[in-house]
Each structure stands twice: as structure tokens, then as C-alpha cells.
Amino acid sequence: MPDPLPTFRVAFVPGVTPTKWERIWRERMRRQRLELRPSSAAEAIEALRGGDADAAFLRDTAADDEFSAIRLYEELPVVVASRDHLFAALEAGERLAPNDLDGENLLPGQDADTLELVAAGVGIARMPQSLARVLGRRDVIARPLRDSPSTWISLVWPIDATTPAVETFIGIVRGRTENSSR
């Protein structure tokens, strides 16, 4: 029985959609499988440290002594509120100012449990638009927030594990063609 194909493992946090990069990998790397793993940030970091992931798409993560990181794109910050909230009266593209949040109960989380509280009218939450879309509910609205720090997504991998497969994946994510050189 022939050896199974090696697997390149990529963890990704909620809100990241790696399907384009997956398609390109599968076209170019027929001799190595790509396994995508939805993960929390903590799970992804642990998988990188433990060798259970080769790379990860993480939010707000920069290079340091342990990890290399390439900042890929910024995410628009939004405020999520219940459909009954005053913010729901704003046009869908109208942006809130940070001072519009004064006096509001700003909930600290960015997960499904937080959206449950938002839907119940307990408060509002700030999160990246991509995350608000993934967690979206019919009883919650999202409005863009202007003049507020954005988050960003980076491709991250252990410094001491920069393999040819990692280099290939970096090229795919950066949009290099199959025949281009760095």
C-alpha cells in the first residue's frame, strides 16, 4: 500500500474564509493535501506550538521571537445591536462614531454567547465585520464604526518551521502565480 500523501495543516479563526487559497493549493500541490481547521485563536497558537498546525490565520497577531507573521488585510469594525435598538434605525451603510456608544452597555465578548446577550437587549458589542457575518442572527444588526481601530488578519507560522510547504502557501496567499519567483 503506498504511503498516504503528506498533509499541510492550516488553522483559522472565525471570520476568515480560506476557500480561495484552498482551491489554489489543491490545483498546485497535488502531492500534498491541505487540511483546514476552524479554531479559536488560543487553539491555533497551541496547534502551531505543538506541531499540529503548519500555519494559521490569526487576528491581530504580529511577528515575534516565536512566530513569523505576514499581515494580510484589515477588517472593518462594526457594532452589533438588537433589532430593537436605536442603532437599527440607521441606514445599513451609515457609520457610527465612537461617541455614539457613550452610555451604552458595551459587552466584552466576540462570540455566539455575546450575540445571544445582544439579541436579548442586554447590550451592544464591537467586533470585526467578518465575525459579525459568521455569527449573524436575524434578531441582531451590525453597523460600521468609524474612527475606531480596525483588526487585521495575519498568516502566522513558527519561525523554526519555515518549510518549503510554508513558503509555497505564503506565495499562494500573497497571490503569486505558480511560475513567479519571490
pLDDT at residue number 127 = 96
pLDDT at residue number 94 = 87
* Longest alpha-carbon distance in the chain: 66
Find all residues with CB under 8 Å of 43, minimum gap 6, and list them: 11
pLDDT at residue number 5 = 83
Q: What is the pTM of this model?
A: 0.89
pLDDT in tens, the chain (182 residues): 555 889 999 999 999 999 999 999 999 999 999 999 999 999 999 999 999 999 999 999 999 999 999 999 999 999 999 999 999 998 877 899 999 999 999 999 999 999 999 999 999 999 999 999 999 999 999 999 999 889 999 999 999 999 999 999 999 999 887 766 55
What CA–CA distance (Å, rounded) separates 19 from 32? 16
pLDDT at residue number 177 = 75
The structural domains of the chain, with segments of one domain joined by +, span 7-74+151-173, 77-144
pLDDT at residue number 91 = 80
* Neighbouring-strand partners of residue 57: 12, 155
What CA–CA distance (Å, rounded) separates 98 from 65? 34
CATH number for the segment(s) 7-74+151-173: 3.40.190.10
**Cα separation values, 70 from 84, 119, 136, Å:** 40, 35, 28
Count CA atoms closer than 13 A to 58's CA, side-chain side: 24
Alpha helices in the chain (DSSP H): 19-28, 41-50, 112-119, 129-134, 164-173
